Structure 1
Amino acid sequence: MTQPNSDHDPGISGLIEENILAIHQLVNLLNSLPAECYRQSFGAKKPQVIGKHVRHIIDHYTALLSASSRPGALLDYENRHRELVLETDRKAGRDRLMGIAQQLQDQWREDCEGELAMLHNSAGAQQVVSTSVERELVFLASHTIHHMAIIGMLAEQAGMEVSSDFGVHPSTLRYLEKQAEGLARSA
């Protein structure tokens, strides 16, 4: 996975690119994933399902895209749509992810009005906190990659071959790249 260079300030376009790279990596895995594997339960006590992780990722992007497109709307990650078809239909999940990638590009072609208000629920108490589109794109990239790591493990349990950089955060990939460069120079 090619990562954006962190040595310069790419603005929102770099954040969007990082999210789109992760989404495309997930879409590529879904393209090769058998449909039954998308719905398969893994684990005895707390079943894990690839489709549920995909739906969860989609819900979070949808929340940001929706809140940021309506002036005065609150970003609320807790009250998500949770569309069952996105958990059970691999193609529906894949298609929605591709649509989200396109929306990310279309909605913020250039710098955006970044201020957002987010509804946060902490121990049952709700509060409104200030955030920004940029901050939420950083969160969503990490959140997506975290769930991709789980998806990757589940796919491997089902016998699929998963790329070694699937579900690995860009900062870790940059670190490993620097480590490899250091070893090559010292050899």
Structure 2
Amino acid sequence: MKANASFRVEGGRWWLAIGALFLFCLSANGTLRAQSDARWGGVVAGVPFVYEHLPEGRDYQPYQLLGWTTLANLKKRGEDRLYWYAEPQLVYVTYSDGSGPDWEVGLNSGLMYQLALGKGWFATAAIGTGPHFVTVETPLQARGFIFSDNFEAGLIAPLGPGLQLHLRSRFRHISNAGLKNPN
């Protein structure tokens, strides 16, 4: 696989902003969790098990690094939870034909419902959307500004004090909402 060491976006400062967002999520994790169970965060690695086959004959393989922090628990009663969350995303993209790499960077916000199953176990469902910038250009997608929409379902298992295992399956759709051709 060929690596592109000279990759740069005009201005180059968006890397600093995304880095600051990820550091915020990392540092906020312990602080928020200690202050209240209503707010918490962490970092998630997203590894695809299904690749998108592009019309030009190659597979799109996105590997995600996701920050995650809750902004508010909107359900104040009972053990179930409804969180409003923010999720900075940094995505490294490879292709089955060895071309690339490409990058995606953005910030999603959404809602996650956690259904209490007992003893710290939760079934989860979430939906989110947000602005992103992509460097990839295909016959169906222009380079630049897009929206990333996410739908997911999962399970949270307790591992110990302040530690959980999150198993999630996510469907992701990206589109520039017809603002630029191709969409």
TM-score interval, smaller chain: under 0.3
Q: Give the TM-score, by structure 1 length.
A: 0.27
Which structure has more relative contact order (CA 8 Å, sep 6+)? It is 1
Q: Which structure is higher in helix share? A: 1
Q: Which structure is higher in strand share? A: 2
Q: Give the TM-score, by structure 2 length.
A: 0.28
